[in-house]
Amino acid sequence: MLKANKKTIIITSLVILMPAAAGLMLWDRLPDPMATHFGMSGEADGFSSKAFGVFGLPLILLGVHLLCIVATCYDPRRQNISPKLFSLVLWVTPLISAIASAMVYAANLGYKTNSQLYAGLIIGFVFVIVGNYLPKTRQNYTIGIKLPWTLANEENWNKTHRLAGALWVAAGAIILAAALSGHLRFDLMFALIIAATIIPSGYSFMLHARKGL
């Protein structure tokens, strides 16, 4: 899996690091410290040194990216992870890096930014895309709802992930719509994320407890 996707892994890693190159070009225009965290109101509530804002954030995301790749490639059931699903693993972090870095740089250059919109776009888009893949995901230890009974029983896994896929797509669509309309609230987004995770897990346990799946 690593050898077959070597070129894509290099490309996605470079995409994650591109904000650092952009930061170098904007270095003299960026403040020190930089705002690197924003509340749902859009106000900056966390600051870091310019060096960390330009280099640290992309490097952290690169580390997360490579960790996800290694975990997926060495999954004991990696043969169940389709090429399309692995492509999703490869491109999610670069997408997050591009959108998050654009927001951070824009805010620090004095442009008015909407953190609710950016957060909603990132989370909503990821939920819709992942939700579309969940029903097609076969048993593995890296991607999906990995509970003892889903991993032990293929029918439980399949039924759980069909429900999870529908809920994730619905939650992502609501988050995207709320963000684009300017009505996204943190409590709404948090409730949707929790529901899309807890409900399939509870359903999975019910299948296991009642039907022995």
Could you read off the pLDDT of 28-74 as tens digits, one per residue? 999 999 998 877 666 777 899 999 999 999 999 999 999 999 999 99
Residues 86 and 158 in one domain: no
Q: Categorize the per-residue pLDDT at 23 as very low, low, confident or very high, splitting at 50, 70 and 90.
A: very high
Place of tokens 């309309």: 181
Residues 29 and 103 in one domain: yes
Domain boundary pick from 59, 86, 112? 112
Residues 91 and 143 in one domain: no
Domain boundary pick from 96, 112, 128? 112
Prediction pTM value: 0.84
Residues 17 and 103 in one domain: yes
Q: What is the pLDDT of residue 45?
A: 76
State which residues form the domain around 40.
1-112
Residues 9 and 43 in one domain: yes
Residues 142 and 82 in one domain: no
Residues 5 and 92 in one domain: yes
Residues 125 and 210 in one domain: yes
Average pLDDT, stretch 150-159?
Answer: 94
- Mean pLDDT over the full length of the chain: 90
Q: What is the pLDDT of residue 156?
A: 95
Residues 50 and 29 in one domain: yes
Pairing of strands 34-38, 44-48: antiparallel
Domain boundary pick from 85, 112, 139? 112
pLDDT in tens, 79-137: 998 888 899 899 999 988 998 898 899 989 988 877 778 888 889 999 999 999 999 99
Q: What is the pLDDT of residue 41?
A: 64
Place of tokens 């029903």: 135
- The answer, yes or no, to whether residue 207 has pLDDT greater than 90, is yes
Residues 78 and 178 in one domain: no
Q: What is the pLDDT of residue 42?
A: 65
Residues 118 and 187 in one domain: yes
Q: What is the pLDDT of residue 189?
A: 87
Q: What is the pLDDT of residue 93?
A: 93
Q: Give me the number of domains the chain comprises.
A: 2
Q: What are the CA-CA distances from residue 189 to residues 36, 40, 170, 180 (Å)?
A: 21, 11, 12, 13
Q: Please report, rounded to a whole number, the percentage of residues in the chain having pLDDT higher than 70.
A: 98
